[in-house]
Amino acid sequence: MMPPTSIDLSKLRVRKTEWQEVSQVGELLVDGFHDSPFWSCIDLHTKYPDAEKFFFERRGQLMFDHSFLITYEDQVIGHYCISPENDTGPAFWKLMWYGLYLLPIRYGWQFTKQTLDLLDSNSDTRDEVLGKRPPAVKLEAFVIKQEWRGRGIGKFLLEHFTLKDCSRMVLMAQEKDVVGLYEKVGFRTLDQRIVRTGYGREYENWIMEYDAAGESA
């Protein structure tokens, strides 16, 4: 369903994701990240569309405990996840349980190795920078459906829902326009660099922090 011509931002709502909606979260993630420079490092959307669908549906399952859906008049238009302080990601056994072992079987060893290399490059950068900072919750997978973008929805949600009553939050971004959105609501860049993978691809990465006390560095 296409969005109305005029949107009343006060009608936006956020609610906890229900388990039966996990596949819908996967679809939202594909919509939000299909053209991401990060995932382009493994040609996820252009060469491996089946893997893209598989991967993001599994990611929706892994994030379920901290997953939220964004609605407008009961229509789901977006999603985000907030990981708790000191969260280091899912344990290896949980990754196996949710299908990581299927990657080489379905898509081959080269794709699997490059995917793991890409994810490791991201987590290594995160640990290097955020390991020196105070504990903070982490904003992950903040997406608005493409047809709903450009209407001020993201900024409104961040200000009135995501950051409400939050003292400190961090995130990682790989697109300049997304960085601009987060800067508008008070995030500051802690680290900006070109990250190179072990197989010769690279992406630009920003690590950002929101500090309600105004102590972002």
H/E run at residue 182: helix 176-184
Cα distance between residue 9 and residue 183, in whole Å: 20
| Residue 2 is assigned to a structural domain of this protein | no
Minimum mean pLDDT range among 11-20, 90-99, 147-156: 90-99
| Residue 22 is assigned to a structural domain of this protein | yes
pLDDT class of 90 with cuts at 50, 70, 90? low
| Residue 125 is assigned to a structural domain of this protein | yes
Cα distance between residue 144 and residue 149, in whole Å: 6
Cα distance between residue 56 and residue 30, in whole Å: 7
| Residue 175 is assigned to a structural domain of this protein | yes
pTM of the model: 0.90
Looking at residue 154, its amino acid is: G
Q: How buried is 129 (Cβ within 10 angstroms: 0-12 exposed, 13-18 middle, 19+ buried)?
A: middle
- The CATH number of the domain holding residue 46 is 3.40.630.30
| Residue 137 is assigned to a structural domain of this protein | yes
Does position 108 have pLDDT exceeding 70, yes or no?
A: yes
* Extended strands (E) in the chain: 12-16, 67-72, 75-83, 137-144, 168-173, 188-196, 202-211
**In sequence order, which residues have a C-beta less than 8 Å from that of residue 33 and are 6 or more positions away?**
39, 56, 141, 143
Number of structural domains, the chain?
1
Average pLDDT, the chain: 91
| Residue 30 is assigned to a structural domain of this protein | yes
Pick from 31, 26, 14, 144: nearest CA to 77: 144
| Residue 5 is assigned to a structural domain of this protein | no
Mean of pLDDT values over 166-175:
96
pLDDT class of 72 with cuts at 50, 70, 90? very high
Q: Are strands 137-144 and 168-173 parallel, antiparallel or unpaired?
A: parallel
Classify each residue of 84-119 as buried b or exposed e, where b means 16 or more C-beta atoms within 10 Å of its C-beta.
eeeeeebeeeeeeebbbeebeeebeeebbebbebbe
Pick from 31, 23, 73, 75: nearest CA to 49: 31
H/E run at residue 118: helix 109-130
H/E run at residue 26: helix 22-33
Could you list the residue range(s) of the whole structural domain that residue 57 is in? Answer: 17-211
